[in-house]
Structures are given as C-alpha cells and as structure tokens.
Amino acid sequence: MLTCYSALLYLLGVFKLEKTVSPAHAKKMTQLTPTTRLSWLLEQQEFKAIHSVTNRLLEKYAEFLEKTDRPKDELIAAFNENSSEWMEGSYTFGDLMFEALSTLGEQNRFYRLIVV
C-alpha cells in the first residue's frame, strides 16, 4: 500500500509545486523509496498541512515492519492471534493515507485526474 500511495502523494506534491508532472518527475519518483517520498513531503514547507499525518504514516509503517519482521510460521501465528487488532491498524493506516491524499489534493486538478 505504501509503495503505490506514496507515489501518488509525491506526484501530487510535485504538481502542486510545479503545476505539472513531467516524465522526468515521474522517473525521479520511481528512484525514491516509499519512505523517502514521504520524507520529501516533510521537507516542503508548502505541505505543512500534511506534516502531522505524514509523520503518523511513517510511524505506522515502522510499526508494521516491526510486527511482520519474523519467520513465516511465527508471523502466521501472530496474525491469527491478533487479526482484529492488525486489521484495525490497517484501517487506521488507510484513513491516514486518505487524509494525506485528500488534504494535499484539495483544489488540485491532478488529484481530480487521479480520482476520476
């Protein structure tokens, strides 16, 4: 989820700053990791409105990596034991991503093109 949606956030940010997204912008985006894309958003003062939610996305992603960094059998057992909690965490992450996208995309034609 982070790979795709961090790409959209990055490209929305580029559009907001440059009023266009060129093939060069898209190529640069593909060379960045998902967390680097989010970190880039945090470096832009113009996007201060999403800094808090972007930080929370990075925190939730770090929590996800910690939970899932274990042998497969252990991971399956942990998921079976905590599936409700883990599902709730995925909904929270999705809600945060939606908030970031809709806030950054507000009054942004590129956002409309992505959605419709």
Amino acid at 115: V
Contacts of 23 (CB under 8 A, 6+ apart): none
Determine contact, residues 40/13, Cβ cutoff 8 Å: yes
Determine contact, residues 41/13, Cβ cutoff 8 Å: yes
Question: pLDDT by residue (tens digit) across 12-51?
Answer: 999 999 999 999 999 999 999 999 999 999 999 999 999 9
Q: Torsions phi, psi of 31, nearest 5?
A: -90, -5
Q: Percent of the chain, pLDDT > 90?
A: 91
pTM: 0.90
The pLDDT of residue 64 is: 92
Contacts of 25 (CB under 8 A, 6+ apart): 11, 14, 18
Rg (CA), the chain: 16
Q: What is the DSSP string of 65-96?
A: HHHH-S-HHHHHHHHHHHHHHHHHHHHHHHHH
- Selection from 73, 74, 64, 61 nearest residue 35 by Cα: 61
